[in-house]
Amino acid sequence: QVQLVQSGAEVKKPGASVKVSCKASGYTFTSYDINWVRQATGQGLEWMGWMNPNSGNTGYAQKFQGRVTMTRNTSISTAYMELSSLRSEDTAVYYCARGPLQLMDYWGQGTLVTVSS
Amino acid sequence: QSALTQPASVSGSPGQSITISCTGTSSDVGGYNYVSWYQQHPGKAPKLMIYDVSNRPSGVSNRFSGSKSGNTASLTISGLQAEDEADYYCSSYTSSFLVFGGGTKLTVL
């Protein structure tokens, strides 16, 4: 069965970076894009960007351009999302999701990133 | 990219039907047949309920249906059940990006 398993919760100080992983299983990792979506507590969903695991091509939402980097390691079927220059407003649950961005059919369990001094 | 507009909340009694609207522009909802709907229960990851405006993934109840007219998409849930109580989000493709609606809290009375 398709599964996306994300890394555990993180606590970071303002200005630091965080790197969240998303390990895929149950399908061919390079056949589907990986998207990243975040959700602040009590707030809505916010799309951050996508990555093609086969080519490594990426596309980032304008809001995160210059601060986010999406990469992958195909040998271990794992995608990564790194967000830099963290601020308190980046405190949120970060999800990875499989699919083209208009059709995200499987989601990870979410990773809570807390930014606090 | 501006968020799509959804009502903050809707409610209905068991067995009734409800509709949630999702209003965008000709650059997103009106310009592409790539509207999706997600259901999210508290503390859980979102679940895809509708894609490409009106298609249901395998395993999703046929009580859920989607449609679009102009710049507004709609999600209809018929025969409301207690387990339908959740937050619902629409999303639309827009020239290589994705935009979400603000979310709608569905309460089953």
pLDDT tens for B10-23 read: 999 999 999 999 99
Q: What is the mean pLDDT of residues B53-63?
A: 96
Which residue type occupies B72? T
Percentage of chain B beyond pLDDT 70 is 99
Local structure of residue A26 (DSSP, 8 states): S
Q: Which of A44, A101, A107 sits opposite B98 (nearest CB)?
A: A101
Q: What is the mean pLDDT of residues A28-57?
A: 96
Q: Does B103 touch chain A (CB under 8 A)?
A: yes
Cβ distance A104 to B100 less than 8 Å, yes or no, reads no
Partners of residue B48 in chain A, C-beta under 8 Å:
103-105
Give the number of other Cβ atoms within 10 Å of residue A13's Cβ: 9
Q: What pLDDT is attached to residue B3?
A: 87
Any residues with CB less than 8 A from the CB of B38 and at least 6 apart, and which?
A: A45, A104, B46, B47, B48, B49, B88, B89, B90, B91
Q: What pLDDT is attached to residue A101?
A: 87
Whats the size of chain A, residue-wise?
117
- The neighbouring-strand residues paired with B65 are B76
Q: Does B66 touch chain A (CB under 8 A)?
A: no
pLDDT higher than threshold 70 for residue B1: no
Distance of CA A25 to the CA centre of its chain: 16
Q: How far is CA A15 from CA A45, B21, B31, in A?
A: 23, 39, 39
Partners of residue B42 in chain A, C-beta under 8 Å:
none
Give the number of other Cβ atoms within 10 Å of residue A59's Cβ: 16
Question: CA–CA separation, B70 vs B24, rounded Å?
Answer: 9
Q: What is the mean pLDDT of residues B83-98?
A: 94
Which of A34, A36, A37, A45 to mutate: most B Cβ within 10 Å? A45
Question: CA–CA separation, A47 vs A8, rounded Å?
Answer: 20
Give the number of other Cβ atoms within 10 Å of residue B52's Cβ: 15
Cβ distance B46 to A59 less than 8 Å, yes or no, reads no
Q: Of B105, B99, B34, which Cα lies nearest the Cα of B73?
A: B34
